[in-house]
Amino acid sequence: MTEISVNESPFLEALGKLRSETALLPWVDLQRFFAQGKVLEVASTEDLLVCAAHMAMDNRQKVSNLQSRGGLSPPSDDRARQWYAEKVQLWTVVVAPFVLVQEMSESEPESGPQAPPS
């Protein structure tokens, strides 16, 4: 799970803003972004909103750490085909120029990813 080690107000504000910008979308609507190389998958062990906030705030150290441990990466072609075949819906948030996606977990509410408490 992604740790929040940034206690600054701007980080928490970014979390709140990104929370309001999440959407549950079918993979078919995201394929064109995948074809452009603009989709990044957030691993189920990470928090979608925290990853997005680190990207939005250009926290290169945190983003690099996420990438090196496999918490943030482009989905493979096989993964994209699986999502298409299974008509998967993914939680999404845009951090331009990227679209971050994460599969909805079994225990996750339909209301979407929750920003960690402030």
pTM above 0.75, yes or no: yes
Q: Are strands 39-42 and 98-103 parallel, antiparallel or unpaired?
A: parallel
Buried/exposed 26-61: b ≥16 CB within 10 Å, e otherwise: ebeebeebbeeebbbbbbeebbbbbbbbbbbbebee
For residue 66, the tally of other CB atoms under 10 A from its CB is 22
pLDDT tens figures, 60-78: 999 999 999 999 999 999 9
Residues 19-65: tens digit of each pLDDT: 999 999 999 999 999 999 999 999 999 999 999 999 999 999 999 99
**What residues does each domain of the chain span?**
9-103
